[in-house]
Chains A and B, each alone.
Chain A
């Protein structure tokens, strides 16, 4: 079992950002028809999303969240000794966007910056990566950043996904101090890597043609568009995921009822309901934000926390969190969260225009 116990490190702040580009589901009616859009909203629970602006990247959204976090907490950037950036939408093929973000944020050279390339499970993995780096190092503060602009990878006519993927960014400040223990359980199953895949543009198939073809779900795509085998992903989400959460509860000798809030990756509402039922969670303790933000991948956990506690404070809560999806990859962790340090979701139009390279000018 990939189970981790982290002592002496606490969550000292959480911020989240979405792009300044609100897209209501109704705006897709012209493309897909009123009935199809209505059916989509009813089955997924998604009524709107926020899509990144044309020049806005995942790192821009994570950057905006991190700057908001520093502004709110007043934390000293010079003391950040570990920074983990989670994304599957980097700025460049190389270098790592984590290094570019270090420069933009003005983090010190004495800071270990690393990128984690995971999607919906990325927040859980990113947190554990930072916690492990901090536990074995001398950093007093750590920063976990996460950003995604998956909407840019979807064929605009793919009605199975285009209305579902929202973009966003989040940042979490970690601080060495005594308090509760953070426990994490991580799992991966690469045998199902084809369940969610974007085949082209990596180094296996760098420049194939852009011809469109009909996929197994009857929807037309090119090799450059993201494909999701919805039935397989659903089956995974309502069987493997609750089973892992139950394993986690058993291992930690807790019950779903022991947690004040249970934040699940916001995939779709039908899926959420099924998981809630299977882990015997009190549904009033499972917040939903996907109705307004859609499926934002790994950002959905911190985004949901900021959405819930950004304005309504509840003291320190015991939170159980689970992210799951592409990989396939999934994980569960729990932590004490002081809701006074969970900040309201911001909207941003920030774009790092300096980051664009012009031919002949570098």
Chain B
């Protein structure tokens, strides 16, 4: 999965425009990054990558890039 595909998947999960975010985007600056968005990310990782992402991992996310790094 290349970087653009990863950003597209992230954008789809959070329901934001893909061209409005980059790996450097700080999550705290994204109004869409709320508690429901965090739950949607957990679901996405489980469904798309078979990865169990726990609460501690989610708490550690600072930038969009941190999330993209887990998409392998």
Residues of A within 8 A of B (CB): 43, 160, 195, 216-217, 229-236, 238-239, 270, 274
Known: A238-B43, A238-B46, A239-B52. A231 touches B36 (CB 8 A): no
**Shortest Cβ distance from residue B11 to the other chain A in the assembled complex, whole angstroms:** 20
- List residues 6-40 of chain B with CB under 8 A from any CB of chain A: 35-36, 38-39
Contact A235 B36 (CB under 8 A): no
CA distance A233 to B53 in the complex (A): 11
Nearest-CB residue, chain A, relative to B52:
A239
Using CB atoms, name the residue of chain B closest to A216: B59
Q: A231 with B35: in contact, given A195-B55, A216-B59, A239-B52 (CB under 8 Å)? A: yes
Min CB–CB distance A269 → chain B (angstroms):
12
CB within 8 Å of A: which residues of B? 35-36, 38-39, 42-43, 46, 52-56, 58-59
Assess the B42–A238 pair: CB atoms within 8 A: yes
Query: How far apart are the CA atoms of A42 and B3 in the complex, in Å?
Result: 33
* CB-based nearest A residue for B34: A39
List 19 A-B residue pairs with CB atoms under 8 Å apart, sorted by A's residue number: A43-B36, A160-B35, A195-B55, A216-B59, A217-B35, A229-B55, A230-B35, A231-B38, A231-B42, A231-B55, A231-B59, A232-B54, A232-B56, A234-B42, A235-B53, A235-B54, A235-B58, A238-B43, A239-B46
* Chain A residues positioned under 8 Å from B56 (CB to CB): 232
Q: A234-B42, A238-B43, A270-B39 are in contact. List 17 more A-B contacts (CB 8 A).
A: A43-B36, A195-B55, A216-B59, A217-B35, A231-B35, A231-B38, A231-B42, A231-B59, A232-B54, A234-B39, A235-B52, A235-B54, A235-B55, A236-B54, A238-B42, A270-B36, A274-B43
Closest to B56 in A: A232
Main secondary structure of the interface of B (DSSP, over half): helix
| B residues in contact with A274, CB < 8 Å | 43
Give, as a whole number of angstroms, the nearest-CB distance from A241 to chain B: 12
In the bound complex, CA of A301 to CA of B72 (Å) = 38
Distance in angstroms from B7 CB to nearest chain A CB is 22
C-alpha gap A274/B24 in the complex (Å):
30
The 9 residue pairs across chains A and B that have the minimum distance between CB atoms: A232-B55, A231-B55, A239-B52, A231-B58, A235-B54, A234-B39, A235-B42, A231-B38, A229-B55
State the CA gap A43–B43 with chains docked (Å).
Answer: 14
Kindly list chain B residues whose C-beta atoms are within 8 Å of the C-beta of A229: 55
Contacts of A233 in B (CB 8 A): 55
Bound together, the chains give a CA A270 to CA B36 distance in angstroms of 10
Return chain B residues, CB-CB under 8 Å to A217.
35
Shortest Cβ distance from residue A312 to the other chain B in the assembled complex, whole angstroms: 32
A274–B46 CA distance with the chains assembled, in angstroms: 10
| Minimum Cβ distance to chain A for residue B28 (Å) | 11
CA distance A231 to B58 in the complex (A): 8
Give bound CA distance, A342 to B57, whole Å.
43
